[in-house]
Homo-oligomer: A and B are copies of this chain.
Amino acid sequence: MKKFMNAAEDFVHDMIEGVYRANKDKLEYVPEYNILYRKDIPEDKVVIMQGSGSGHEPAHIMCVGKGMLDAACPGNVFAAPPMDYVYECTKRVANKAGVLHIVNNYQGDRMSWDMAKEMAEADGITIKTLIVNDDVSVQDSLYTVGRRGVAGNFFVIKCCAAAAERGKNLDEVLAIGERVNSQVRSMGMALTSCIPPAKGTPIFEIGDDEIEIGIGIHGEPGRRRDKIKPAKDIVEEMFEAIYTDLPFAKGDRVAVMVNGMGGTPISELYLLFNEVAKKCEEKGLTIVREYVGNYCTSLEMEGFSLTLLKLDAEMEELLADPAEIPIHVF
């Protein structure tokens, strides 16, 4: 295993500390609980929180900022945050407008967040929970009852956060998030496995000419194995699976995300986007916004996921709102 780290047990801490060091003016960091939160959360704005396993960066520890998450409390790599992390985080950021917990649908995460919610509610904090489950690949999975939550999560966060910044109340923000989740669909695939730092070996074996269609972001099995094939054929299969699931229809306005799994160069992601854009044209979908890059990764896995969100007028406005994240581009 070759990875940039000091020791496997310090991987998550050292990474979060890096994000914090780059953003000390805007963020607070509580190392004992892996908590990163905004210094300037308004008292009257609904608070948006998330925390899941680490290893999916920039989701979600690198998404704390005005117009995105107010706080994040990740667990170790591919491990849900312990309930006391979530509880502690909730207590630190709660205000009178209430807190929205956005939770990706994995049983480990749900257990931590459910219990933390109970504990925080006992302290008088108002909390609503929103479950994200956008992955069409499989029904039930290794760590999930129902569908898994993957990159569609970003659209949920962005719309909820923008609505909260616009002054919507907790029920309204929850309703928007639920609408986004109901209209977003994703599917992933992999060329290679990643290697979790503490494990030191790949989480699954895959041949030099094989791909896994419908992979999960923790290496959960997908729909099937196939031989490597042209990008347009891979996109064709995934696009059809997503398109028919909602289903999308001619005339829909959509946001499209081509999400790298961590080890895929951006050249290949734009090449894939090109094929996705052709499919949208063929189907009569109008791409209103496109997102091409690494959003919800699986460490250094080579692969990508495709996400389509069917937009309405409000979502279009919310996605276009400004967001300050702790990652510079230029």
Contact = CB atoms under 8 A, between A and B. Distances in A.
Contacts of A68: 330
A52 interface: no
Interface in A283-312: 289-294, 297, 299-300, 302, 304
A2 B55 contact: no
A263 B5 contact: no
A265 B62 contact: no
A144 interface: no
B14 A231 contact: yes
A22 B277 CA distance: 8
A330 B17 CA distance: 22
Contact of A2 (B211, B294, B327): B211
A323 B327 contact: no
A142 interface: no
Contact of A18 (B67, B262, B270): B270
Given A2-B228, A231-B5, A267 B55 contact: yes
A328 B24 CA distance: 24
A89 interface: no
Contacts of A277: 18, 21-22
A74 B269 CA distance: 18
B2 A209 contact: yes
A230 B268 contact: no
A62 B5 contact: no
Contact of A263 (B234, B300, B325): B300
Given A263-B263, A292-B328, 6 more contacts: A5-B271, A22-B277, A265-B300, A267-B299, A289-B328, A325-B329
